[in-house]
Amino acid sequence: MPNTAMSNAATEETPRELYLDSAASGAVSQAAIDAMLPFMTEAYGNPSSVHADGKTAARALDAARSSFAADLGARPNDVVFTSGGTESDNLAIKGIALAQVRRENAGMASRPRRIIVSAVEHPAVMQSAQWLHDFFGFDVATIPVDAQAHVDLAALRREAERGATLACIMMANNEVGTVEPVADAVRICHAAGVPVHVDAVQAAGTIPVDFRGTDADSLAVSGHKFGAPKGLGALLVRSRVQLEPVISGGGQERGLRSGTENVAGAVALAVALHEACATMETRSAAVAQSRDALVRAVQNAVPFAHETGDPSRRLPGHASFVFPGVTGEALLVDLDARGIEVSSGSACAIGRHEVPGTLLAMGYSETDAKSALRFSFRAPLPLRDIQRIAAALHASIDALHASA
């Protein structure tokens, strides 16, 4: 994060901070800010109003929906704008399960009350499934992953064949960056008659997402991972899916998410996603090159560093490690003092001293899992930054060993 004191205090010895936590959040694109501003200051009507300003807002919302859908291989009607990834996951999982409860209450045939989740899903997914267990008695079946965090497709097939309300498989993992075999998972689940929800929060705007092409039933996206402001996202959901709204009210967003639409936010989402997708191919190649250089530099600086996740099928700007014998939290604090901002795995676990769940599921011990660090970035890293990170890491680990 930019240091506000920097302008007065910066000297040759205090280099700028290096932000390497884009998997947690990133800067808002200038194009998105420029595009959204008029919908806060001039065309601020409610899109449900019948007057001219309302119609202008409704047209902007429609245009944003169409552009956003096109960039995710979806149709405009698939898009439900929400407040972000967490809400989208909640809406899909609770909404699909509650629709099943409604069918059961009406005496209609339905699937067993079971939610299948991969062992490496985000807490927004895990806790939604847990909520259904606590309040409606749904069973939660967890699918194991291998040592690189790939979902075990044979285990998924076995669980799907037992019948389930829904299976949740993420597109790319937030802790170790592994890209999951989502299209295969969807095929397997659909063959057993089980719909699939995909958490694509880390994927959208970073790697290609083709909602209709993968045939997923619903898919969650979050704006602040690709250059839109925080608190904005969407659930893509096929009309074949029966979904109960979780937020009730005036019936906006096809009745699936009531509340006056955030027109400026939808415009920002569409513009940021379009910018991210338009530059994805060239940016990804350059970002992946710097990631590989960073991995080599870290391993040279700290020979006992162990890269986590799939080294090839992973998000381009994502490098993650365990540093056995060191505590990730302590390392992260020391690096921060040296102007290097990283995370210890999952932003959501920080501050609660939780062990990164993905690493445990991958077979790491609790102690090793607690030594995790994640470096994530959306733009290529200059060589001097990579060298600076490696040197800081070396110095931090020396300092922590000396103080131990």
Catalytic sites, residue numbers? 348
Of 199-207, 281-289, 297-305, 360-368, which segment contacts ligand PLP by CB under 6 A? 199-207
Exposure string over 65-90, b if 16+ CB within 10 A, otherwise e = bbbbbebbbbbeebbbbbbbbbbbbb
| H or E element in which residue 400 lies | helix 383-403
Q: Are 192 and 160 in contact (CB under 8 A)?
A: yes
Residue 391 CA, distance from chain mean position: 30
345 binds ligand PLP (CB under 6 A): no
- The binding track of 272-311 with respect to ligand PLP, each residue x by CB under 6 A or -, is ----------------------------------------
Cα gap 322→208, rounded to integer Å:
28
Residue 282: CB atoms within 10 Å:
10
* Candidate ranges 39-47, 82-90, 245-253, 333-341; the one touching ligand PLP (CB under 6 A): 82-90
Measure the CA–CA gap between 269 and 262, rounded to whole angstroms: 10
- Does the footprint of ligand PLP cover residue 372 (CB under 6 A)? no
202 binds ligand PLP (CB under 6 A): yes
How far is CA 335 from its chain centroid?
A: 24
Tokens of 227: 């250059």
Residue-level length of the chain: 404
Q: Which stretch binds ligand PLP (CB under 6 A): 129-137, 195-203, 253-261, 355-363?
A: 195-203
374 CB-contact burial (10 Å; exposed 0-12 / middle 13-18 / buried 19+): buried
* Least Cβ distance, residue 223 to ligand PLP (angstroms): 7
Q: Which one, 270 or 390, has the nearer CB to ligand PLP? A: 270
Report if residue 374 touches ligand PLP, rule: CB under 6 A. Answer: no
Residue 86 contacts ligand PLP per CB under 6 A = yes
CB of 68 to ligand PLP, least distance (A): 15
Of residues 67 and 90, the one with the C-beta less far from ligand PLP = 90
* Region 119-138 residues binding ligand PLP, contact defined as CB under 6 A: 122, 124
Q: Which stretch binds ligand PLP (CB under 6 A): 80-88, 129-137, 145-153, 239-247?
A: 80-88
Q: How many residues bind ligand PLP (CB under 6 A)?
A: 14
> Residue type for 113, please?
R
Of 233, 245, 265, 357, which lies in the binding site for ligand PLP, with binding defined by CB under 6 A? 233
Q: Which of 141, 185, 201, 393 is in the footprint of ligand PLP by CB under 6 A?
A: 201
CB 32, min distance to ligand PLP, A: 15
Does the footprint of ligand PLP cover residue 84 (CB under 6 A)?
Answer: yes
Q: Is 99 exposed, middle or buried (0-12, 13-18, 19+ CB in 10 A)?
A: middle
- β-sheet bridge partners, residue 218: 197, 237
- 108, burial (CB in 10 Å: exposed 0-12, middle 13-18, buried 19+): exposed
Q: Which two tokens stand for residue 196?
A: 């699939």
User: According to the binding rule CB under 6 A, does residue 317 interact with ligand PLP?
Assistant: no
Which residues form the interface with ligand PLP (CB under 6 A)? Answer: 84-86, 89, 122, 124, 170, 174, 199, 201-202, 222, 233, 347
